[in-house]
Chain A
Amino acid sequence: MRWLHSILATFQFELGNFLSLQRIAVTAILALFPPVMLALIFVGFRFTSETFEYPLIVTVLFVTIVSLLGMLLWATPNIYSELEGKSWIFVASRPGGRISIVLGKYCSAVLFGFSISLISITGCLVVIQTMSGSLRNPIWVWFSMNLLYLIGCMSYGAIYSLIGTMFYRRAMVVAAAYTILSGMVLANVPAVVSRLTLRYHLQFIGYRWFGEEAGVTLADLMAHYSLAEAPSTGWHLLWLAVAIVTALFLAAWVVISCEYVSSDET
């Protein structure tokens, strides 16, 4: 119970800090970037539902970029921001303070990251329906996309939190490198190594949930990875759940095992 109070305290404190003009502005810019870009594509190129075949794929691309950027900004500097703000010793000298700061910040980062996704997805779907009216089941697409991005934020947030505890001085650089290497290189390799990436599993879930609406099929994806049979959605969800729990467990273990010292304390 004490731990829950402590995690909740961090979560609420982070929420309070989030409500600054600067942070709200950054969130708004990130969240509105995808629908504005999509609208510009429609208007600028005078696309219609016949000439613009994959607006949902473009939506996924834009929303993924801004969501990952949001998670990178809020989940990764979990330790470094405390050290830089010289507040680390105040929280670390509390019972369970180290773990609660990681988990509390993880929860708040997921909330911020998912908020961006939610606004972006909603805006993009409104643009698509207004400009082309091509979605057959917009409510289902909205719901399933949001659910997928929530899982994505939780997964990437857990990995970024782990990176933040392990490489706290260069966390952003390492996290960005991980995202590029894992999401853009390894996930595209048609070999077993791609299954170790988060994108591989999120991709399969997305294809199953709203692939048809996006104009792509599961068969295309299976062909890319040379798979005769696609694993079930449950298997992918289980894999991601294990990845999240493992990453957070490791982050908790690292944060209680590491000596975090700011330069003025040495």
Chain B
Amino acid sequence: MMIELDQVTKLYGTVIGVNDINLALEPGTYGLLGPNGSGKTTLINLILGQLRPTLGSVRLFGKNPWSRDSLLKRIGLCPATEVSYPRVTGYQWVKYLIRKQGFSSRVADQLARKSLAQVRLEDAMHRPMQNYSLGMRQRAKLAQAIAHEPDLLILDEPFNGLDPVGRAEMIQFLQDWASQGRSLILASHILHEVEAVHPSFLLISGGRLLASGSPDQVRSILADTPNTIRLRTSQARLLASQLVENAAVDEISIVAAERGEAGEVLQVATRSAAQVYQVLPGLLASNQIEIYEMQSADESLSHLFSTLMKIHRGESQGGPLT
């Protein structure tokens, strides 16, 4: 087992960091998802042995990371925090951190150059980091994390500050990393970015691990929980009359579209968006209804977490997640 958490709780005084987390992760790719302040960084720090659990126990590669910091040889960490030394170049910083891994200056030099090239920062590596863009700093952070070729790479909000090209490159890098059979934990609050790396999900909110599962299972729980679908169409009333007969539809309302937009907006509240999605194409085709815009207003991470919290509290039916 790569990581094992047994009833782990971490308190900062009276503030709960993480609460009663049980987790057993085999080597693989994991997306740690949760809103800001949900306990992702605390969980990572517990796994790394930077924090000691108030209750419970943590095992990393079968050992207690708090008392065995030699385990850190096998870990590469790219934290969310921004670091910037005034006059230190990217190369100097990465080399320094590789040397802190215990490598000699000569070996650290080679590893630093190699990892900076891997993140496509070789042209800028001798420039002071204070002149780097946010994206370049992010890549330098990634370089120091991968330079010693760790067994497990942990990235905390790695997409912060990256432009679309940078995001695509980061996703590609992480996909390559995962395809090489190396383990990865990717913490983020943005679902679709994490999803692109095809991990198993760990969903955390309010310091609690609410669920874990595959991307399909996450989509499934989104589809099978109360949701509101918004359709901007030219024939809202006709579509409403067709949909109202569907058992999955709880409520229908029609509101005016935004100024300058064509048609009207049909709001369909449903307890199973999946069922509505199933019948919708047929209804639209048979009645030749034109759709200008369609969105599921609630299909976001915050909705997913509020749903999971309801399930957790027993206010709603549980989905297929474990």
Contacts and interface: CB of A to CB of B under 8 A. Distances in A.
A16 B12 CA distance: 36
A87 B83 contact: yes
Given A86-B82, A86-B83, A97 B69 contact: yes
Contacts of B42: 265-266
B75 A5 contact: no
A97 B81 contact: no
The bracket for how many chain B residues form the interface is: 35 or more
A5 B148 CA distance: 15
A91 B69 contact: no
Contacts of A265: 41-42, 45, 81
B81 A98 contact: no
A261 B72 contact: no
B15 interface: yes
A97 B72 contact: yes
Contact of A261 (B12, B87, B144): B12
A17 B102 contact: no
The bracket for how many chain A residues form the interface is: 20 to 34
A1 B45 CA distance: 27
Contacts of A12: 96
Contacts, number: 93
A12 B85 CA distance: 15
Contact of B85 (A1, A17, A91, A92): A17
Interface stretch (B46-54, B195-203, B252-260, B286-294): B46-54
**What does DSSP make chain B's interface, helix, strand, loop or mixed?**
mixed
B87 A20 contact: yes
B103 interface: yes
B45 to A, nearest CB: 7
In the A-B complex, list the 10 residue pairs whose CB atoms are closest, starting with the nearest: A2-B102, A9-B99, A86-B81, A94-B100, A93-B77, A95-B72, A13-B96, A89-B79, A87-B83, A6-B100
30 contacts: A3-B102, A5-B99, A5-B104, A9-B100, A9-B105, A10-B100, A17-B85, A20-B87, A85-B85, A86-B83, A89-B45, A89-B79, A91-B100, A93-B50, A93-B75, A93-B77, A94-B97, A95-B71, A95-B73, A96-B70, A97-B72, A98-B69, A100-B100, A259-B52, A261-B12, A261-B45, A265-B42, A265-B81, A266-B12, A266-B42
